[in-house]
Structure 1
Amino acid sequence: MPLATETAPLGSTGLRTTTLGLGTAPLGGLYQPVSDEAAEATIAKAWDLGLRFFDTAPQYGNGLSERRLGSFLSAKPRDSYVLCTKVGRLLRRPAEAVGEDAYYKATPPERPVFDFSYDGVMRSFEESLERLGTGRIDVLHIHDPDDHYDEAVAGAYRALDRLRSEGAIAAVGAGMNQSEMLADFARAGRFDCFLLAGRYTLLEQGALADFLPLCEQQGIGVIIGGVYNSGILANPTAGAKFNYADADPALIARALELDEVCRRHDVPLKAAAIQFPAAHPAVASILTGARNEAEIVENEALFRHPIPPALWQELRERALIDPAAPTP
């Protein structure tokens, strides 16, 4: 298993990402508030651990994540890290007062508004540059266009393609919680990388059938997020979350089976979960979120925890993972 600090090429972009990256949705106050001090300490700890791949988005804390990440990175040499953000949501202050954001806590008053048009994406890019305090973004993803595919192809992709041709960004990507539409994007345009969240994990390997082979064939770099499937692979108990909702009992039972095998081999379930997707040759980096120093320290340690080949073999024999899935 590669160390978290080793680098891998991100498709054919020329960018190299550390094999473990920091996802900053939690630092935007996802589910619970995070102070400026805690956010800075978390990013600093990730940096101290050697992580040089950072992912954010306007949606994460309604701009809070971008501002916090940009504030820290402003003191670092620009060529020493790879920075991703996203387009598809503009942050605008509602005309009338609204209640607290359903997901992000203690955030600015702006709220995200879907906009995958060419002009909207260009505005989003400029506004992200301002919040991040940088003149360059390495990877720009079309973010969650599940219900906006046609506009994303006709508008957002065209804008990103122009930004790439002008050298304003190095890579055009898309980030989603499904692989099917990402495969459609791969066939519709020239994409450099994709961020797939929650759909290639110890619990789900459907992406093996079409998406991952397609990316490998086309030289598209894949970034994997959501390796714990919203928490079920971190703590498979009653009330665990899967895909941001309460997990079905059958999924909890399957996660408990995975945990049982891991325990028999003296391996934490979370270690198997964070290492498993990294073994696929199309995968360049694993993104893990953290809201404090302890969480990023734990993730880095889990990423290099020794796992005997016998564990993977038993998971195959018990049909708990796809027999075709590469393993470390």
Structure 2
Amino acid sequence: MPEQQARRVPGTDIPLEAITLGTSALGREPGGERLARELVSGRFRQLDTSNEYAGGRSETLIGQVIGDGVTVFSKADRDPGTGVFDGDRVMRSFEETISRLGVSTLPVYHLHDPFTITVREAMAPGGAVPALVALREQGLVGAIGIAAAGGTLVEDYIRTGAFDAVLTHNRYTLVDRSAEDILRLATERRMLVFNAAPFGGGILSGSPRHASRYGYRPISPEFGRHVEKVRELCERWGVALPAAALHFSLREPRVHSTVVGITSVERLKALDALVDAVIPDGFWEELEALGAPPPSPVD
């Protein structure tokens, strides 16, 4: 695995691992109990979840099997019925999460997809962000982050200076650089950076089902041609496309942990080989020579 910047989670003595296992699918399918057990007993010991994943079932399943040496990050979510996302809701979301997980504190707690409020509302007295800050000041969370779709929205939250961490997804991959400003702003502020969805929702994992979609959206012909060039480059170098996609994130010094969504035990077991793959330097030189990728559907 490429060397990453040595970092600890802000406000804690917990070392940050280069791989974080994403659990948004945990609890949505049968067999979640088995997958949860595998997630906490394998090589990778860092999990990312959220209050709203599978209606809270992701956190519940993790809480049933969590043990020593496993680190769990979670996220505050708006009220699922009303969409309210104020300070009171953040506190309720936090209490629900720690109850499900069976823990008293969280190392990282993100503001998650705050689409029902403006940044000004989130920052105002009684808003979501002051509640997160209060949790940090009370020692109940080590670091607070912003995790959301939408590049400019994330940038606006970063510019407030309130956050220690950021999680971006489907915006910094082998075929997409739309998170460049997020990475720049976060690095300037010495924030922790989680880069999620290195496979772009499946198109870079080799999945035929997702071959015409990126970030869960239909791709343009121009974007599809660029993806095909990258695929051909991988074939010339004898490099598996998913391995190249994962290592693109792992080798980026501004990214401190790459969040890989795990949907099955089989995908978890396959991750070992992807992480251990060796990608020749010449491959990256030829990738750069392809030029900047065209706009992606998530821009």
Please give the TM-score of this superposition, normalised by the length of structure 1.
0.81
Residue identity matched to 2:45: R
Corresponding position of 2:39 = 43
* Secondary structure of the structure 1 residue equivalent to 2:168: strand
Q: Is the 8 A contact 2:78 2:114 kept in 1?
A: no
Q: Distance in 2 between matches of 1:41 and 1:129?
A: 19
Q: Distance in 2 between matches of 1:23 and 1:312?
A: 26
* Secondary structure of the structure 1 residue equivalent to 2:55: coil
Shift of the 315–239 alpha-carbon distance from structure 1 to 2, 3 Å rule, reads closer
Q: Distance in 2 between matches of 1:321 and 1:42?
A: 36
Q: Counterparts in 2 of 1:213-252, with a 5 A limit?
A: 213-235=184-206, 240-252=212-224
Residue identity matched to 1:223: F
Residue identity matched to 2:18: T
Q: Could you list the structure 1 runs, at least 4 aligned residues long, displaced by more than 6 angstroms after superposition.
A: none
C-alpha displacement of 1:11: 6.0
C-alpha displacement of 1:200: 0.7
C-alpha displacement of 1:138: 1.4
Q: Is the 8 A contact 1:194 1:221 kept in 2?
A: yes
Q: Is the 8 A contact 2:5 2:253 kept in 1?
A: no
Q: Counterparts in 2 of 1:123-162, with a 5 A limit?
A: 123-148=92-117, 149-154=119-124, 155-162=127-134
Q: Distance in 2 between matches of 1:201 and 1:68?
A: 30
Deviations 1:86-111 (A, max 9, x none): 1132345xxxxxxxxxxxxxxxxxxx
Q: Is the 8 A contact 1:89 1:115 kept in 2?
A: yes
Deviations 1:110-144 (A, max 9, x none): xxx53320111111111111111211111110101
* Secondary structure of the structure 1 residue equivalent to 2:174: coil
Q: Is the 8 A contact 2:23 2:49 kept in 1?
A: yes
Corresponding position of 1:86 = 75
Given candidates 62, 66, 80, the residue that maps to 1:69 is 62
Corresponding position of 1:325 = none
Residue identity matched to 1:63: G
C-alpha displacement of 1:284: 1.0
* Secondary structure of the structure 2 residue equivalent to 1:27: coil
Q: Distance in 2 between matches of 1:12 and 1:38?
A: 32
Residue identity matched to 1:21: T
User: Structure 2: any 5+ residue segments left out of the alignment?
Assistant: 295-299
Corresponding position of 1:311 = 283
* Secondary structure of the structure 2 residue equivalent to 1:70: helix
Q: Is the 8 A contact 2:19 2:257 kept in 1?
A: yes
Residue identity matched to 1:17: L
Residue identity matched to 1:25: S
Residue identity matched to 1:184: D
Is 1:22 equivalent to 2:16 in the alignment?
no
Deviations 1:42-75 (A, max 9, x none): 314xx321x12111012210011010111111xx
Corresponding position of 2:297 = none
C-alpha displacement of 1:22: 0.7
C-alpha displacement of 1:82: 2.5
Q: Is the 8 A contact 1:199 1:207 kept in 2?
A: yes
C-alpha displacement of 1:250: 2.8
Question: Which deviates the most, 263-272 or 174-183?
Answer: 174-183
Q: Distance in 2 between matches of 1:18 and 1:24?
A: 16
Residue identity matched to 1:59: E
Please give the TM-score of this superposition, normalised by the length of structure 2.
0.89
Corresponding position of 2:153 = 181
Corresponding position of 1:9 = 7
Question: Which deviates the most, 297-306 or 56-65?
Answer: 297-306
Q: Is the 8 A contact 2:108 2:141 kept in 1?
A: yes
Shift of the 53–170 alpha-carbon distance from structure 1 to 2, 3 Å rule, reads same
Q: Is the 8 A contact 1:87 1:140 kept in 2?
A: yes
Identical pairs, percent:
30
Shift of the 249–34 alpha-carbon distance from structure 1 to 2, 3 Å rule, reads farther
Corresponding position of 1:299 = 271
Deviations 1:142-163 (A, max 9, x none): 1012452333223111001000
Q: Distance in 2 between matches of 1:70 and 1:163?
A: 21
Q: Distance in 2 between matches of 1:141 and 1:220?
A: 13
Corresponding position of 1:98 = none
Question: Which deviates the most, 148-157 or 218-227?
Answer: 148-157
* Secondary structure of the structure 2 residue equivalent to 1:17: coil
Residue identity matched to 1:85: S
Q: Is the 8 A contact 1:222 1:284 kept in 2?
A: yes
User: Structure 1: any 5+ residue segments left out of the alignment?
Assistant: 93-112, 323-328
Given candidates 207, 212, 232, the residue that maps to 2:183 is 212
* Secondary structure of the structure 2 residue equivalent to 1:174: strand
Deviations 1:18-53 (A, max 9, x none): 111110011131xxx232333234314xx321x121
